[in-house]
Structure 1
Amino acid sequence: MELKDLIAPETYNLTSEIDRFDSDRVALRWENETGEKKTVTYHDLIQRGKKFANVLTELGIKKGDRIMTIVPRIIDAYVIYLGALRAGIAVIPGSEMLRATDIALRINQGEAKAIIAYHEYSGQVDEIKEELPSLKYKISVDGETDGWMSMNKLINEASAEFTTVETNKNDMAFLTYTSGTSGTPKGVVHSHAWAYAHLRIAAPRWLDIRDGDTFWATAGPGWQKWIWSPFLSVLGKGVTGLVYCGRFHPEKQLQLLQDYKVNVLCCTPTEYRLMAKVDGLGKYDLSHLRNACSAGEALNRGVIDTFKNTFDITLKDGYGQTESTLLIGTMVDTEVRQGSMGKPILDEFITIIDEDGNPVPVGVVGNIAVRRDFPALFRTYYHQPDRYEAAVIGDYFLTGDRASRDKDNYFWFHGRRDDVIISSGYTIGPVEVEDALLKDDAVKDCAVVGKPHVIRGNIVKAFVILKDGYTGSPELVKNLQTFVKNETAPYKYPREIEFVTDLPKTISGKIKRSALRDLEVRRARENGLTV
């Protein structure tokens, strides 16, 4: 693949990729946990998206503006994105697990003109106490909410005639927030050109999507991975996407794979781990499943062996970030090397460098780095150029992870360069959890790290120093966990809390999270957990 093949035309709107499939071809098959089912064609989805583009335009939201959306795995998630992008409006994804303070930060920093939220999630928005000077409209999805406009009513009254707004390839398409080790979450700016490159890299070379496939990617709409796969890699390739709106149960996931004759699956290692533990796994017919991919964290060898021995399916690791597309993985033409991350998707753009920006020799651990001119790399952190520059060495953007490579250019993971925790595929910044804990009256100081876990990869663990007058107890642990759940997204809460009298610190007074991580790794190994 040549570089020129990944460069979008100067005038380019990513919805043009989807318009090529405007027909009665099935775009999405949707099911929820009560068994309700829906099917939507490409034509119907595109038409509803055009109506929503008219809705936004008639409200005065125009090219270059931004909207925020918080919706579950429903068909209208696709409609919102298609409508906004067609109108030249960028989308800020939001998880349903965000709390009022999280939502306010994204609205204010992203200067969102509207928030479009599933009706059951509107309460968190209405609880926001901060001023929201940019926000003009609140639109409720799939239900009525007092004080909100109704998306269904607005769309029913809108025209399906809409001419796609002319956008430059470098215009913002998505503003996705990601956690870091310090400060507030960072707004990752992706342009329409990013989508062009992504569709020509990850979908064919890793996911191996082919005409006529049914593809199930389980990520939710609040995450960049949803844009990667359930949205772009389904609709941009003209295949049928399976969408399941319900709580995860491994038996249900296996049943859906069988019933819908899924050809390509992409889910988290945690999902694979739990499916691998199902009794009678071999009773499920997964004979249609041609390609099974995993992203978010490393896969366990035992899980890989279980799927291979039971279904003759080789699970394929993939590594990427909110800031990029897939960077490293087991491609369709790559031999699986157990324990390896795989190979770079494009050798000339992805390498391992030292702290001075020089490529390191074979076998030497260094920083996984991406050339800054890689077409599927983000543009910057919105309104935070200093944080972008802090992640740059010379011509390279640092992913924050460390690895070595062998003589055949397979990469081998060696851990985080920073303190970010990846748990069940979620990326969690320790500072966010620490900030929440420190708001509790009982907490004097704290440090948060990832603790190895057999199912989740890692869990969030907090080491807490209590203020005078407070004593550690199981009841206080529960109280602190509940407090954090109410302060920030619930998936970030510490699943384990250890009360201590001191924390390891540097001479300058910074907490040495690395020492606490090392402690948890030692403990895990002593308990027989492979780390």
Structure 2
Amino acid sequence: MSPGNTQFGSISIDWESEPVPNLGQYDSYEQARANFEWDIPETFNIATDVVTRHADRRGQVALFQRIEDEGEQTYTFWQLERESNRLANALEARGVGQGDRVAIVGARSDRVMLAHLAAWKLGAVSVPLSTLYGADALEFRLSDCDASAVFVDQDLSETLADALESIDTVECVVEMGGTTSHIEGIETVGFDEIDGETSYEAVETAADDPALILYTSGTTGRPKGVVQDHQSLLGWLPSFQMCFELPWHDSDPLLYATPDLAWIGGINLVLGSWHYGFPAFRYDSRTGFDPKTVFENIDRYGPTRAVLVPGMLKPMSQLDASQYDLDALQVVMSGSEPVSEQLHEYVTETLGANLNEMYGQTEAMHLVTSCSQWFDADPGSLGYPAPGHDVRIIDEDGTECETGETGIIGLKSPDPTMLVELWNDDEATERKFVADGEWMNTDDLGYCDEDGQLWFKSRADDLIITNGYRVGPAEVEDSIRELDQVREVGIIGVEDDGRGEIIKAYIEPSGGVADDDQLKEVVRSHVKTNLAKYEYPREITFIDEVPTTVTGKIKRTKLEEHERESQA
């Protein structure tokens, strides 16, 4: 395949001008890693890269949007350019400038992304926040980042008003709805009514200037603000090409980007599509995830690529897919947790798509992935480090671990996808690195097998050591979730005199809570058979609902609190 222009239906990519080479030109993964070179410019702005440079193509669609109970919308790159310019001018007129923080608390994809684009054009730093946050959570984050302006959904105005009572940095609130409410002492204006010219000269930002502050879920301690720069988008492109097999398919690409835009994974999926000049599809749900709606969207819009995590794939697999047209779907990317062999088979055989898994985190997105065009990764493995990223299993001193040995998943510094810092916390930033800053500690544990594939074990602070064996709770959870009788499960370690710790499972059964000895035995037998005899849960408790974060991660601290209270 030529490294020059590539045509995807009506979309052409000039690879000679790209900061990341066309990986499809290489015959193998090994060849791509050996020949890969970054070409990151000194100045780079996300907004001008993903929208402004495509805006002259007036009819080129950037966003297909379906809003539950409201209808559909379509945006071209030209429309995104004009609307984001309008917002940038309006914010600038209200005193927002380079380096200021602009918080975004919204559920509508079009308005959320336009707010980000406007902030970046100003050289400001966008701060995405979840619509599920209460007043206290918003207050901490808005205060911590010293936000100057806030975009907010109209139905969250009262919550925001409560959060702003003790904050004096916010000068302007833009409500992303109909009529505006009144927040004492702060200018409040409606998204559609805010005035501004539709032309704007974006601030010239350095590639390493801050672009986003992303707050971690905060399962332990107070949330940390992860600062990512403009070049972090470019750092994600090798993995984007691999996991979506971009250079290997010649049809018009359309990406079904399912993750929440409150998190960097959702934002970067849209930005990756826009960088290469093709559209993303977003479905804005008002009532939560519905597997039937996913099938309807694939049938109706014909995406060639989709992001479907195991928590989506499992309920989808319980429906009849034969009534939907899924022929357009070529590639499914999954993340957040390993994909079981059963779900892997479901994607390839029932959905008729290639499945690639991806690993990354807020501090360093999109580092490791699989790519069926180059190799057949084992189901559940993370795959291999994307070209341009040096990811290895290391110990706490930065020494590389032996094959099969569990250690820290480390990222070699510097790397364009790596965090700039943890906001206002130099000590915590320093603790993220080991070996005099040579390696970033992801705080995730994993191992490398004989083929060089990386496997995730657990978060470093979640590791359970039972009778001398090191057990990652996520692995046990993934195994138990395969059972139809289990809706959700959380694993913790419980102190034990004989074994140090034993494994305990908190299970939310599919059919509701019941002290079912038969199900307990099914769970134990399943884990013994599919994982290891020492990994089965010796204790099992059934509960109404397993506590999770807004991103679906198990809140193990809550389960540990429950355990302590039950023993008191």
Q: Normalized against structure 1, the TM-score is what?
A: 0.79
Partner of 1:281: 321
In the alignment, the residues of structure 1 paired with residue 181 and residue 220 of structure 2 have an alpha-carbon distance, to the nearest angstrom, of 37
Structure 1, gaps ≥5 residues long = 421-448, 464-473, 475-479, 505-531
State the AA in 2 paired with 1:14. I
SS at match of 2:163: coil
> How far did 1:69 drift?
0.6
Q: What count of residue pairs does the alignment treat as equivalent? A: 455
Q: Structure 1, residues 352-388: CA drift from partner, whole Å, max 9, x if none? A: 0012210012121111100121111111101112112
Change (3 A) 1:386 1:129: same
In the alignment, the residues of structure 2 paired with residue 212 and residue 54 of structure 1 have an alpha-carbon distance, to the nearest angstrom, of 34
Change (3 A) 1:457 1:206: farther
Residue 297 of structure 1 contacts residue 457 of structure 1 at CA under 8 Å; is this kept in 2?
A: no
Q: Structure 1, residues 316-360: CA drift from partner, whole Å, max 9, x if none? A: 211100111211121242322223221111376100001221001
In the alignment, the residues of structure 2 paired with residue 107 and residue 462 of structure 1 have an alpha-carbon distance, to the nearest angstrom, of 35
Q: Structure 1, residues 172-208: CA drift from partner, whole Å, max 9, x if none? A: 100000135532111000011112222x322212223
1:270 to 283, 289, 311: 311
Partner of 2:411: 370
Change (3 A) 1:257 1:197: same
Whether 1:204 aligns to 2:237 is no
5 Å-filtered alignment, 1:481-500, equals 498=562
Residue 209 of structure 1 contacts residue 264 of structure 1 at CA under 8 Å; is this kept in 2?
A: no
Residue 400 of structure 1 contacts residue 416 of structure 1 at CA under 8 Å; is this kept in 2?
A: yes
Whether 1:191 aligns to 2:229 is yes
Partner of 1:258: 299
Partner of 2:362: 322
Whether 1:145 aligns to 2:180 is yes
SS at match of 2:364: coil
2:107 to 72, 76, 99: 72
Residue 8 of structure 1 contacts residue 197 of structure 1 at CA under 8 Å; is this kept in 2?
A: no
5 Å-filtered alignment, 1:158-307, equals 158-180=196-218, 182-198=220-236, 200-209=237-246, 212-230=252-270, 232-246=271-285, 247-278=288-319, 280-307=320-347
Residue 330 of structure 2 contacts residue 354 of structure 2 at CA under 8 Å; is this kept in 1?
A: no
State the AA in 2 paired with 1:168. A
In the alignment, the residues of structure 2 paired with residue 49 and residue 41 of structure 1 have an alpha-carbon distance, to the nearest angstrom, of 12
> How far did 1:145 drift?
2.8
Whether 1:106 aligns to 2:141 is yes
Q: Which moved more, 1:337-346 or 1:236-245?
A: 337-346
SS at match of 2:191: helix
Structure 2, gaps ≥5 residues long = 1-31, 464-475, 495-512, 514-542
In the alignment, the residues of structure 2 paired with residue 5 and residue 274 of structure 1 have an alpha-carbon distance, to the nearest angstrom, of 41
In the alignment, the residues of structure 2 paired with residue 312 and residue 336 of structure 1 have an alpha-carbon distance, to the nearest angstrom, of 17
Residue 304 of structure 1 contacts residue 314 of structure 1 at CA under 8 Å; is this kept in 2?
A: no
In the alignment, the residues of structure 2 paired with residue 376 and residue 497 of structure 1 have an alpha-carbon distance, to the nearest angstrom, of 35
Q: Normalized against structure 2, the TM-score is what?
A: 0.74
In the alignment, the residues of structure 2 paired with residue 356 and residue 54 of structure 1 have an alpha-carbon distance, to the nearest angstrom, of 49
Residue 209 of structure 1 contacts residue 237 of structure 1 at CA under 8 Å; is this kept in 2?
A: no
Partner of 1:25: 60
Residue 453 of structure 1 contacts residue 459 of structure 1 at CA under 8 Å; is this kept in 2?
A: no
Q: Structure 1, residues 91-122: CA drift from partner, whole Å, max 9, x if none? A: 00001111111111111111110111011122
In the alignment, the residues of structure 1 paired with residue 306 and residue 42 of structure 2 have an alpha-carbon distance, to the nearest angstrom, of 33
Change (3 A) 1:352 1:99: same
SS at match of 1:75: helix
State the AA in 2 paired with 1:382. W
SS at match of 1:225: helix
> How far did 1:413 drift?
2.1
> How far did 1:313 drift?
2.2
Change (3 A) 1:118 1:462: farther
> How far did 1:90 drift?
0.7
> How far did 1:123 drift?
2.0
In the alignment, the residues of structure 1 paired with residue 564 and residue 218 of structure 2 have an alpha-carbon distance, to the nearest angstrom, of 25
State the AA in 2 paired with 1:244. Y
Change (3 A) 1:359 1:196: same
Change (3 A) 1:84 1:462: farther
Partner of 1:6: 38
> How far did 1:162 drift?
0.6
> How far did 1:129 drift?
6.7
In the alignment, the residues of structure 2 paired with residue 12 and residue 126 of structure 1 have an alpha-carbon distance, to the nearest angstrom, of 35
In the alignment, the residues of structure 1 paired with residue 564 and residue 99 of structure 2 have an alpha-carbon distance, to the nearest angstrom, of 50
2:126 to 77, 80, 91: 91
Partner of 1:117: 152
> How far did 1:70 drift?
0.4
> How far did 1:460 drift?
8.6
Partner of 1:49: 84
Residue 29 of structure 1 contacts residue 240 of structure 1 at CA under 8 Å; is this kept in 2?
A: yes
> How far did 1:303 drift?
1.2
Partner of 2:459: 416
